[in-house]
Each structure stands twice: as C-alpha cells, then as structure tokens.
Chains A and B, each alone.
Chain A
Amino acid sequence: MSDDVIVAEGLTKVFNKSLVAVDHVNFSVKDGEIYGFLGPNGAGKTTTINMLITVLKPTEGKASVLGFDIVKQANMVRKVIGVVPQEYTADEDLTGYENIILCADLYGIPREVSKKRALELLELVELTNFKDKRVETYSGGMRRRLELACGLINRPKVLFLDEPTLGLDVQTRTATWNYIRRLKREYGMTLFMTTHYLEEADALCDRISIIDHGKIIVTGTPSELKEGLGGDIITISVKENADVSEIIRGVENVKEVKNEDGAYRIKAEAGEVTAPLIIEALRKKGYTVTKLSLTEPTLNEVYLEYTGKAMRDTEESKEAFISQRITLRRARTV
C-alpha cells in the first residue's frame, strides 16, 4: 500500500451504457495536500467525487480512500471521510444546530460528544449567533459554511468539497478559502476539491488535474503547469485584415502563434523583449498593431493550452451545456 490517501486507477463511470461521464482516470492524492479537479461544468468532476464518496459505484476501475476500497469497503470509507456537497443540502426547516446534530446522529456519534462538537464547529464557521435560526433564513455564504460544519462533524481525515464556492460573492469566496486553508494547516486534513474557477484552483490547490470530457488532461502543481507553458503570452491584433502569422513566426524567441479570429496568441520567451520586436517586424511589412497585451502565464493560459478552449467558451454554448446537464441529472437518477 502506498502513502497516498486517495488512489484511483482506471476509474470509469458510464451512465445509461452510453454516456461516459468519467473515462479511465488515474490519480493519487498525497497525505495532507489540497488536490483539485479543475474543469468546465459537465466534465465529470462531481461524478468522480460521487464515486469516491461511495454514493455512485464505478462502472470500471477502482479507487481507494485511506486504503479502503470504495466499493468493497464502502462503509469504512464513509466513516473516515467528510463531504461538502455542491448543493445546499441542509434541511431548511431545521436550525443550523439541529442540522449538525442530525449529521452527527447519522455517524452514530454519541450525543454528549456531538453536542459539544456541534458548538465548536458552529464557532469555527462563525455561525454561533445563528445556530437556533432556521436554515431557511440563512444567506448563501452561511449555508455553505453550515455544509462545511456538517462535513466536519465526524472529524474526517479526508474532506471532499464539490465546488465549494459555487455561486458565492467574492468576499464570501475569499472567506471560504480561508476556512479551507485552516483545515489543511491546523488539522492536517487531506482535501479533494472540484472547481471550475481557475483562480480558486490557483489560490488553494497544491496540485491540480485539469479534467475535460471525463478525462484527465494534465496534472501538476499550479506553478509547474504555468512553467510548463514555457513562456509568456503575447496577444496582438492588427488593423489590416490579413494573416500575419508567418511574419510573427519569423521573429526571434517566438515559439508558437495561433490566430484566433484576428487576434494572435503568441507564446514567446522573454515577452517584454520580444513584444517590441514583433511590432517592429509587422511595421516593416506595413501592418499596424492596434492592440497588444502581455501576460505571464496564468492557469487560464494553462487551461487554454490543454483544452484548446477558454474557460468562458465552455459557458458560451449555454444550450448545449444545459442539455448536457439535464442528461447527466437524469442519467444519475436511473
């Protein structure tokens, strides 16, 4: 057995015998790290989590959490993990406190322990003042924190977070990030999270796997992934309606040029030196540069590099997204 806390080998989930939600993914999560699955909606992130938390059975492949097989030893897995789901699952008609106690009862934690622990957790997520208010009256951020508290009631060694800041405003999101960092730092917890926010993956995760169409495309630390791009990104637009890719390619240090609807995405070493050279080369041929931007690689570039589309592109085709979402929902419930 390895030291890895989560190990997945060829993990696959096929819905309705045709919809491949997760396609032979392999990964391992080390003890005490925050590991993120980054990908657009419908990429298979939630399905992967649902398999790891033993709610769904894999069609193929296997995985283990803390050495327990997720299928054969599902009950052992359930005891040692905590789950913070994507949805707000707390019962709206109950108070925050009652919800936590309910979770504790499901784990069979004795009342004298759970009562004390519930208060501690409410303190941790700063809901002490609202503990006897119905969840109905909670804001989105409060609900998310309550979910977090529920997920921690059994003192899990591994915590699964599915889109932990989905739909939260910027301030609440930052606050949630702080809670997550604290869990890692103070409790030495291993965290597995999914997100479709690049900045979230960048800010929180020790390692990331970019996942799309159910497959892991690349894995690494955020900085490894960025460095792996091998250079800065220069984006340039010219006034004239002509393909100038070849001219740009001729410039020193330029590694790659992609024409994206009139804007050129250029990968180049030492961007700040190369950019003026490109402008010069274009001017000599009689082209006018209208726009130029220089960025050091971010995860956005990494994402673009590996999936061939910008994160926002995936949301452009809303209809396709919604229909896929509905299919997935239905499929999960069959």
Chain B
Amino acid sequence: MSGANEYKPSLTRGLWALTVRELKKWLKDPVMVLMLVLQPLIWMGLLGKSMRIDALFSANNINLPQQIPIPSNAVISPTIPPGTPYVFLNGTMLSQMFANMGTNIMQNTFGVADYFSYMAIGMISMIVMTTTMFSGMSIVWDRRLGFLDKVLSTPVPRGAIIFSKVLNATLRAMFQATIILALAYVLGLQLSSTFTLLNLLGIYAAIFLLGVGLSSVFIAFSLRSTRMERPMQIISLIMMPLMFASNTFFPISLMPDWMQAIARVNPLSYVTDAVRQLTILPLDTSALITDFAYLSIFAVVLAAIGIVLSWRYLTK
C-alpha cells in the first residue's frame, strides 16, 4: 500500500526546497541578475559620483587669485606701517587654508572626508530596504497563480512557506549589498584602517536583521492584500521618508529636531551606521553595539508581527 505516512515533512527540508525554488527562479533569469547589478551601478556611478559635496571645499573650487588685496584698515596689526593702503594675502595659501577647513567640516559632519564613501554605504541600506520589501511581493503571484494553495495542500510546515520568502528576500539583499560594496570599492570607496574581511560578516548580519524585519511585515501585508498594486503603493509611500529621515545621505545631527526624532527610530539609520562603522569609519565598538541591539529588537518584533499575521492567513 501507499507509504505516504512514512515520510516526515520537515521545516528545514521544506524551507530549503522553497528557497532554492526562488533562488533558481532569479538566477535563471539573466535580465533579473543584470538588473541586480545595473541598479546599484546607476545609483552609485551616477548619483554617487555627481553629488560631490566634498569638492565644494577643494582648493580648485575656491579658486582665489594669487594675490588678494585687503584695505589695510581692515587689518588689525601694529606692524603695518601707517599710510599703507593695501596689504596682500597669498591666495594659494588661503585656498589651501579654506580647503583644509573644508576637510575639517566634512570630517566633522560625515565622519569621513569624502562624501562618496559616505553615500555609497547609505546606498547599501537603501537597496537592501527596497529589495527586501519588493521581493516579498512575489507571494502575491504565488497566491494568484494557485501555487500557494497547492503548497498549502501538502503537509509542508506552514512556517517553511513564510520563512522561505523571508530568507529569499534577505539573501537577495545580501547579494546586492555585496555587489554595491565591490562596485563602490572600484569607484573609490575609502576603507578605514580598522576594516578587515571579517567585518563583512558583521555587514551581512546587519543586513540580515533589517531584511528579516522588513520582509516579514511586507510578506504578511502582501499576503493579505488582494491587489498587486497595494503593496507597491505602500512601498513607494514609505520608501522616501525612510530614506531621507535617516543618515543614509546626510547626518542626523544637523537635521531639525522633529526629523531627528524620526531618524532615531528609523531602522535604516542603524543599519547604515553599523555598516559605516564596519567599513569607512574608524570602528566605534559602543556605537556598533547600540546599532546591533536596536536592529535585533527591530528584527524580532517585526518578524513576530509579520509571522503571526501570515500564519493566521495561511491557516484560516
């Protein structure tokens, strides 16, 4: 007779099978893989290289004349002989002074002198955010095409269905983050002296936590929305505020108070800071611990909410 009962459907087995399905799906699609590379390349290469805030303060940009005449009564100095109408400043030296001040301003504001490095890391969090939110949406298709119902009629643990989506979204985000980091390095990202290859593990951990939190909630949401457009609208609605009210492109400390309040609860700020600590900044361990503590809480709380909501839907 049938030996159906002798098989043990397990969470790990089902999780693995469903995740491999997703990975195969996108690895088999060359256009998709190309997009995964092109998208960060465009952001990084065009936006990253065009917004050169640090260049504002360069000696070239200040471009002072060789000699700068100053009315002598504007100078408080006893050594200037009376009757001298003008004193002259060395323009080259002054430019250099301004440039040095600029570097100081950059250093104090962004923690690093070059804005490209600062922004490149911000982009990692941005892309991780969009990728995790969007890739959870594939469950809408699974439901529409009847795949979800078929899987639900098998004895695979329901958790495997949800976790496979979360895992897929997160793996995809990690893959993209790696590409961005590599591209950024090629395009001139300056790593701090505290960077080691071991730091990559920390970077992946930070991305994983953000990915798990965001995708769990979005999968639950996608699962419950009857229209494909709904999750899309929500994503585009919350993407911008999350991106701008964080340290992705600009430091929080210079923002107005009300915005700082948002930025301080925004998980994107913590991922970005964690990754910056691990790459371009001289490592500040206590800051890193704060980042990871926050991200862990974020991931656990959101994953719990997301999984409970999805679970209820799948076992209705």
Contact = CB atoms under 8 A, between A and B. Distances in A.
Interface of A: 50, 53-57, 75, 78-81, 83, 85-89, 91, 93-94, 98, 102-103, 105-110, 134, 150, 154-157, 329-330, 333-334
Contacts of B7: 79, 107-110, 154
Q: Which of A91, A107, A134 has the most CB of B within 10 A?
A: A107
A116 to B, nearest CB: 13
Closest 3 CB pairs of A and B: A87-B146, A105-B17, A108-B9
Contacts of A109: 7
A24 B243 CA distance: 53
B154 A107 contact: yes
Contacts of B145: 87-89
Interface residues of B, number: 35
Interface in B1-33: 1-5, 7-10, 13-14, 16-18, 21, 24-25, 28-29
Interface in B172-231: 224, 226
B149 interface: yes
A78 to B, nearest CB: 4
A157 B29 contact: no
A89 B154 contact: no
A98 B24 contact: yes
B80 interface: no
A57 B4 contact: no
Contacts of B18: 102, 106
B316 A57 contact: yes
Nearest to B29: A93
Given A108-B14, A155-B2, A157-B2, 6 more contacts: A55-B152, A56-B316, A85-B149, A93-B28, A106-B156, A107-B9
Contact of B151 (A106, A156, A329, A330): A106
Contact of A106 (B8, B146, B149, B154): B154
Given A54-B153, A107-B7, A108-B10, A156 B2 contact: yes
Nearest to A50: B149
B155 interface: yes
Contacts of B8: 108
A102 B151 CA distance: 10
12 contacts: A55-B152, A55-B153, A78-B153, A93-B28, A93-B29, A102-B18, A102-B21, A105-B13, A106-B14, A108-B10, A108-B13, A333-B224
Contact of B16 (A81, A93, A98, A105): A105
Interface in B129-161: 143, 145-147, 149-156
Q: Which of A94, A154, A334 has the most CB of B within 10 A?
A: A154
Contacts of A93: 24-25, 28-29
A105 B164 CA distance: 13
B147 A156 contact: no
Contacts of B154: 78, 103, 106-107, 154
A108 B3 contact: no
A333 B226 contact: yes
A78 B155 contact: yes
A91 B147 contact: yes
A85 B150 contact: yes
A50 B148 CA distance: 12
B146 A85 contact: yes
A50 B224 CA distance: 18
B177 to A, nearest CB: 24
A289 to B, nearest CB: 51
Contacts of B3: 155
B229 to A, nearest CB: 14
Contact of B155 (A88, A107, A329): A107
Given A91-B21, A93-B28, A79 B316 contact: no
Contacts of A94: 21, 24-25, 28
A329 B143 CA distance: 11
Given A98-B24, A108-B13, A154-B4, A89 B153 contact: no
Contacts of B16: 105
